[in-house]
Amino acid sequence: MKLVPIQQVGGHIKTGAPLPFGVRDAEGKLLLAKGQQVPSDQMREALLNRGVFVDMDELRDASGRGGDAGGAGSEDFFARWEALQTRLSVLLRAPQDTLFLPRVKECASQLIAWAERFPDPLLFVVIQHDHSRHEVYGLAHLLHTATVCALLSRRLGWPPERQRSLVGAALTMNLSIIDLQGRLASRGGKLAPPQRAAIDRHPDEAVAWLRGAGLDDAEWLAAVADHHEQPGGGGYPKNLAEPGEASQLLRLADIFLAKLASRGGRAGLPAPQAAKSIYTGSNGHPFAALLVKEVGMFPPGTLVRLASGEIGVAVRRGTSGNTPVVSALMNRHGDALGSPVRRDTAVAEHAITAIAPAQVLRVKLVPNQLYDRYEA
């Protein structure tokens, strides 16, 4: 019997569906039998937050594959994304683990593959992240930054190894302050001196931990060390005047994702406004221009109002930055449509007239209803 934490296979646990495997304690004793129903999201969250385990052999039997919750198999993209989140929630808090580095590289490679195959659903899950869950900000921010880095490095045509260095750096740049970031996101306000000191030294600490884990990738290490340095100086911790390319791509993605998040009572910016802010704040840096182009004015996950009066959500980027494909969810009277209806916003009657606030949405966004599983 090979036991793994239940968080690593969270993507297999579905609300309203039977458990595909038994749930066990640390000694392998059965606590919940296979087939028991998971009746609510609350029970699902409770299971994932408990220190319980799953037998990998039973998981292999249930799934008919190697048991990697992040793999392709027959699962849809959104289940795999969720599984990756739960896997990283354990992995990134254990840099001393002997398998830490190879597993981070696996996760980076997974994101790079998804950037090739699922670029729009990737942006959707990033833009639609629930930022009210401040306690997971530190982990979510790393995953989202790594996702944007995967998309941008692919757009630049970087070789696979260089892409993996950048995405790996994004996943590991804040290793020493993951939980601190969650606390700060919840509370906000001025940093206390010990917190400021922890923030200032975290690039060097992350590099030390990565070296301790056996990393010898020079560009990965440099990107982590310098992801708060700025061209011309003024950054930290070394006040470098000419930081490297990877660190600057990482820095801009880092800032962009931070601007999307609500923290300490401060509302996050809509994605178009955040991207524009990055561009103007960087004096038109080529990487900032790339970010604006990649994300578009209305990236997937953005709620919008159409000329028809309908409310919908962007699901795919269009031929231009301001004409995404939208799934209409509510009619002009505010009534929910029976099922999402695709609208081409390049057509005048369905053109986007404004970004819609989340408060106007009266239906629950269900990603699997917005994307065909084979299309996503």
Which CATH number belongs to the domain containing residue 109 in this structure?
1.10.3210.10
Contacts 24+ apart (CB under 8 A), 210-213: 210/95, 210/101, 210/172, 210/175, 212/95, 212/96, 213/95, 213/96, 213/100, 213/101
- Domain-terminating residue out of 295, 320, 344: 295
The pair of structure tokens assigned to 300 is: 């997937």
What are the pLDDT digits (tens) for 259-295?
Answer: 999 877 778 898 888 988 999 988 889 999 999 999 8
Mean pLDDT of all residues belonging to the chain: 88
The number of folded domains in the chain is 3
In the prediction, which pLDDT does 49 show? Answer: 66
The DSSP secondary-structure symbol of 261 reads S
Residues 137 and 247 in one domain: yes
In the prediction, which pLDDT does 62 show? Answer: 54
Q: Does the structure show a pLDDT above 60 at 71? A: no
Residues 155 and 274 in one domain: yes
Laid out side by side, the sheet with 23-24 consists of 3-5, 53-55, 23-24, 30-32
Helices 137-156 and 100-117 pack at an angle, to 10 degrees, of: 60
What is this structure's pTM? 0.80
Tell me the average pLDDT across 349-366.
93
Residues 252 and 318 in one domain: no
In the prediction, which pLDDT does 374 show? Answer: 46
Confidence class for position 131, pLDDT limits 50, 70, 90? confident
Confidence class for position 198, pLDDT limits 50, 70, 90? very high
Tell me the average pLDDT across 84-90.
92
What is d(CA 315, CA 176) in angstroms, rounded to the nearest whole number? 35
Length of the chain (residues):
376
Helix (H, G, I), strand (E, B) or coil at 88: helix
Q: Does the structure show a pLDDT above 90 at 147? A: yes
Helix intervals (H) in the chain: 41-49, 56-63, 77-91, 100-117, 119-127, 137-156, 160-172, 178-187, 193-212, 218-225, 245-260, 271-281, 286-295, 367-370
Show Cβ contacts of residue 327 under 8 Å, excluding neighbours closer than 6 positions. 312, 313, 315, 340, 341, 342, 343, 370
Q: Out of 31-35, 49-53, 217-221, which region has the weakest mean confidence (pLDDT)?
A: 49-53
What are the pLDDT digits (tens) for 201-217?
Answer: 999 999 999 999 999 99
Domain assignment of residue 339, yes or no: yes
Tell me the average pLDDT across 318-338.
93
Residues 45 and 96 in one domain: no
What is d(CA 169, CA 146) in angstroms, rounded to the nearest whole number? 8
For a pLDDT cut of 90, what percent of the chain falls above it? 62
The DSSP secondary-structure symbol of 266 reads B
Residues 13 and 42 in one domain: yes
Helix (H, G, I), strand (E, B) or coil at 329: strand
Q: Which domain holds residue 9?
A: 3-69
In the prediction, which pLDDT does 70 show? Answer: 37
Note if the bond before 367 is cis, omega within 30 degrees: no
CA dist list (Å): 128 to 256, 269, 281 = 15, 13, 24
Domain assignment of residue 375, yes or no: no
